[in-house]
Amino acid sequence: MDSRHVIDAITVRQRLNEWMRRQSSRVVLNLASVILTVVAFSNSGVAQVDLPKRLERAASLIASKNLVEADQELSAILKTVPGEPTALNLLGALRAQQGRLKEAELLFSQAVRGDPSFVGPHLNLAYLYTLMGQPAKTIAELREVRRLDPKNTDALNRLARLLLSQGRPDEGIEVLEQAAASQTLPSSLLVLLGDAYLKKGDPSRAEKSYNSALAQDSE
C-alpha cells in the first residue's frame, strides 16, 4: 500500500472528526431526519479516487430521503471497499431511517471497529440507544465521544442530563466539573451544574454555578 495514500486517509479522517465536532448539534439521528454530509477516504481505498464524491453523494441522497438510491450507492461502495467506516456509518443512518434499528446498530458497531477514533458512529450509537430506550448503552457511547472529543459540548450536555435523569447526580457533576477544568462551559451547562448541586443538597455550590451563568450571560 502506498504510504502517501495511507497518510492522506488518516488526515481526511481527522478532518472528518473535526467536522463532526463542529456540527454535532446538527448530526441528530432519528427516524425523521439524518443530516450527515461527510467527505472521507477509506483507510483501505488506495485506488478509489472517486470514493469521497460517492460518499458525499450517498449522504446527500440520505438527507433528501432518496433511500433506495443511497442504499444502492453504499452497497456498491462496500463491495469495492469492504469495511469502509464512513460507508458503514452512512448505511447505518439509512437503516435507522427505515426503522431497522438492530441493523443500524450492527453497522455503526462495524464502523467503530473499522476506525475506533471515528466520532460519528459513536454519536449515532448514542442517539440510536436513546431511541431504543437503553440509557446504560447511551451513557457508555457518550462517554466514549467525550474521550475522543473532549470539546464536544453537545455530547457533554446529553451525557450530563442523562446521568441526572437516571438519578446519578454525583456522576453528572463529575463530568461537568471535569469539562469546566479544561474549557469554558456555556451558561446552559452552568445552570445544569447548579441544578445537579441542588439535587445533591449543596445549595452553596448551586448558587455559585448559577451566579457564574448569570455573569456569563451579562457579558
Q: pLDDT, tens digit, for every residue of 88-132?
A: 999 999 999 999 999 999 999 999 999 999 999 999 999 999 999
DSSP string, 50-89: THHHHHHHHHHHHHTT-HHHHHHHHHHHHHHSTT-HHHHH
Q: Mean of the pLDDT values across residues 160-182? A: 95
Cell of 169: 447526580
Strands (E), 2-146: none
Residue 83 has phi, psi (to 5 degrees) of 80, 10
Does residue 192 have a pLDDT over 80?
yes
CB 40 within 8 A of CB 20: no
Please state, rounded to an integer, the average pLDDT across all residues of the chain. 81
Report the predicted TM-score, pTM, of the whole model to 2 decimal places: 0.77
CB contact burial 68-81 (16+ within 10 A = b; e otherwise): eebbebbeebbeeb
pLDDT bin (cut points 50, 70, 90) of residue 50 is: confident
Question: How much is the pLDDT for 6?
Answer: 36
In the predicted model, is pLDDT for residue 7 greater than 50?
no
- Domains, in order of start, for the chain: 1-149 (1.25.40.10), 154-219 (1.25.40.10)
Kindly report, residue by residue over 150-166, the tens digit of the pLDDT: 999 999 999 999 999 99
